[in-house]
């Protein structure tokens, strides 16, 4: 009995002391030796994975020993590998194995589990510092370019729209003004006396009436999230998409009953604004705007007309729709890609439309989301030679070439009824195929 006890103690001592097999293996980690302890029950994924990789490294070391057996220098190579492994086992939290040629290669996902990656932190800090330096240099260059007080037309329109939108009684979660821009105390200061606002509930004319409609949510808790904002520089137009959320007992037209804090409704809106930049344009500057006026002026009326559309569609008598425009006054500015799509849409050339849509194309229509096949099939059904066939005319088109996006206002006629439909068409980055279309109409509908 005494002999058996001595043998067990000797084997345990050899394993713990670092002799191992052939005297070259490192000692086992303490967490692998303690069985039934409290630490074993609370082991984290990081600790378990570190132990697994340690065992894999031991197996790899055995394989190296077998391969090196019988060759000169094999013992020295094995000893060096064992020393590296011995140094890598310090600590109970699963430290990283060193990245040496003779050490096991640890995957990146395991390296990310470590809490002591000093070298990588230093390298990461260096990359961040270099990126910040490059960004600051770019900002300094932009500031120097703007020292003359000029701002390009695109930036001028975007900053004017931001000042207008932030002047409304809305809580916008993801929109920040220019750091030099001043707040607009009253949106009336941006409205021209002849401005008009067309919305699903009617039309408001005059600065006072338009201001009252735009500020209809003054006493309501309304949260807004901007989705997109586009600029057509040639037409001096901005068109934007955003979501707004309001209490469930309120309508999109601003009418509210008893407030209910917990239940809320969400609406998706497309807003188009036509601007008059003549008070802001610099003489002889090629259409550039006065930077100071764009960011800080308060009494220069510039907003001419506002169009607001929702995700619903209202049918109207044909006599209530304005006559279609005769051709496009901006036909030359639309570009061949946009003009080819408009031509195919008006001529019902659905084979050409199908070839313009990418394979994962989607359209967010009034009745749901359609794929490329279902969208083209729906177009075919609506233009069949029947009493319910639909004819299309295009009222206006705006294009933001930088964002590869076009705004199309279509008038649809079916028998004695008509409807106004807006399509926001977005192409891919190479401007080769259409990736999605978002559909709006002259009606509000919660989503």
Q: Encode pLDDT of 233-260 as tens digits.
A: 999 999 999 998 888 766 665 555 544 4
Residue located via tokens 């969400």: 266
396 token code pair: 């206006």
Nearest alpha carbon to residue 223 among 188, 174, 270? 174
CA dihedral (350, 352, 353, 355) positive or negative: positive
Question: What is the chain's pLDDT, residue by residue, as a tens digit (447 residues)?
Answer: 444 444 433 333 433 444 444 444 444 444 444 455 555 556 787 778 888 888 888 888 887 878 777 554 544 544 554 444 444 444 443 444 444 444 445 554 444 444 444 444 445 555 555 555 554 444 443 444 444 588 999 999 999 999 999 999 888 888 988 889 888 888 999 999 999 999 988 899 999 999 999 998 887 888 899 999 999 999 999 999 999 888 876 666 555 554 445 578 889 999 999 999 999 998 876 788 999 999 998 878 889 999 999 999 888 777 776 655 444 555 556 788 999 999 999 898 999 999 999 999 999 999 899 999 999 999 888 877 666 678 888 888 999 999 999 999 998 888 788 889 999 999 998 888 999 999 999 888 887
- Tell me if domain 150-309 and domain 316-441 are identical in fold: yes
CATH of domain 150-309: 3.10.450.50
* Contact present, 254 and 217 (Cβ < 8 Å): yes
Torsion angles phi and psi, residue 58, rounded to 5: -65, -45
410 token code pair: 């279509």
Q: Which CATH number fits domain 316-441: 3.20.20.70, 3.10.450.50, 3.40.50.300, 3.30.420.40?
A: 3.10.450.50
Looking at residue 316, what is its pLDDT? Answer: 76
Q: Is the pTM of this model over 0.95?
A: no
Q: Encode pLDDT of 272-296 as tens digits.
A: 999 999 999 988 767 889 999 999 9
Nearest alpha carbon to residue 167 among 230, 94, 218? 218
With 0-12 CB in 10 A as exposed, 13-18 as middle and 19+ as buried, what is 257? exposed
With 0-12 CB in 10 A as exposed, 13-18 as middle and 19+ as buried, what is 51? middle
Torsion angles phi and psi, residue 190, rounded to 5: -95, -5
**Domain extents for the chain?**
13-111, 150-309, 316-441
């Amino acid at each position: 009995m005494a002999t058996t006890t001595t043998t067990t103690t000797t084997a345990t001592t050899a394993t713990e002391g670092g002799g191992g097999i052939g005297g070259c293996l490192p000692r086992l980690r303490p967490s692998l030796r303690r069985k039934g302890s409290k630490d074993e029950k609370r082991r984290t994924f990081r600790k378990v994975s570190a132990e697994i990789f340690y065992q894999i490294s031991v197996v790899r070391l055995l394989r190296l020993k077998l391969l090196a057996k019988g060759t000169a220098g094999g013992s020295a190579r094995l000893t060096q590998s064992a020393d590296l492994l011995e140094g890598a086992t310090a600590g109970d939290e699963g430290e990283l194995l060193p990245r040496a040629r003779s050490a096991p290669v640890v995957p990146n996902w395991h390296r990310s589990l470590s809490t002591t990656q000093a070298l990588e932190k230093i390298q990461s800090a260096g990359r961040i510092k270099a990126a910040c330096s490059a960004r600051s240099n770019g900002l300094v260059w932009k500031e120097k370019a703007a020292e003359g007080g000029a701002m390009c037309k695109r930036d001028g329109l975007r900053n004017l729209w931001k000042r207008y939108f932030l002047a409304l009684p809305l809580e916008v979660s993801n929109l920040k003004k220019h750091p030099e821009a001043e707040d607009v105390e009253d949106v009336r200061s941006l409205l021209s006396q002849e401005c008009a606002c067309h919305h699903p509930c009617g039309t408001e004319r005059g600065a006072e009436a338009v201001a009252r409609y735009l500020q209809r949510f003054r006493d309501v808790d309304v949260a807004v999230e901007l989705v997109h904002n586009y600029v057509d520089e040639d037409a001096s137009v901005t068109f934007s998409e955003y979501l707004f959320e309001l209490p469930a007992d309120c309508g999109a037209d601003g009418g509210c009953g008893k407030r209910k804090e917990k239940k809320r409704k969400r609406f998706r809106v497309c807003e188009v604004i036509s601007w008059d930049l003549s008070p802001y344009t610099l003489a002889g500057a090629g259409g550039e705007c006065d930077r100071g006026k764009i960011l800080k002026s308060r009494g220069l009326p510039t907003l001419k007309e506002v169009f607001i559309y929702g995700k619903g569609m209202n049918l109207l008598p044909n006599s209530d729709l304005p006559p279609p425009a005769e051709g496009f006054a901006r036909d030359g500015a639309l570009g061949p890609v946009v003009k080819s799509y408009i031509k195919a849409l008006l001529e019902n050339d659905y084979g050409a439309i199908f070839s313009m849509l990418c394979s994962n194309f989607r359209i967010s229509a009034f009745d749901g989301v359609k794929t490329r096949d279902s969208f083209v099939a729906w177009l075919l059904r609506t233009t069949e030679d029947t009493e319910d066939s639909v004819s299309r005319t295009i009222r206006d088109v705006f294009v933001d070439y930088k964002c590869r996006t076009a705004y199309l206002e279509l008038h649809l006629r079916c028998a004695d009824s008509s409807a106004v439909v807006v399509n926001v068409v977005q192409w891919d980055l190479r401007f080769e195929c259409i990736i999605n279309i978002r559909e709006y109409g002259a009606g509000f509908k919660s989503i």
